[in-house]
């Protein structure tokens, strides 16, 4: 039996590699013994004015800000 998982990631793109660069980095990483084979199925993005004080830059406020930004409205 093989399990399939949905895993959501928050990626802050400080180097502006864009979604294609992010997809490539995730999907083409060399995992030991090909233990996982991730495929980016969907993606969304939001523009933010980044600073050290941004809520996504703090573990205690990250989840709430993530949910606020990406909740289905």
| Structural domain boundaries in the chain | 18-70
- From residue 41, give the alpha-carbon distance in Å to each of 7, 31, 52, 55: 11, 19, 30, 26
Q: What is the pLDDT of residue 71?
A: 87
Stretch 38-67: mean pLDDT, rounded? Answer: 96
Residue 46: burial class (beta carbons within 10 Å; 0-12, 13-18, 19+): exposed
User: pLDDT at residue 73 above 70?
Assistant: no
pTM over 0.85: no
């Amino acid at each position: 039996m093989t399990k399939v998982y949905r895993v959501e990631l928050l990626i802050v793109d400080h180097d502006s590699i864009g979604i294609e660069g992010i997809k490539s980095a995730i999907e083409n990483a060399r995992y030991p013994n090909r233990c996982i084979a991730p495929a980016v199925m969907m993606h969304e993005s939001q523009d933010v004015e980044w600073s050290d004080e941004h809520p996504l830059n703090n573990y205690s406020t990250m989840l709430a800000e993530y949910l606020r930004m990406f909740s289905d409205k």
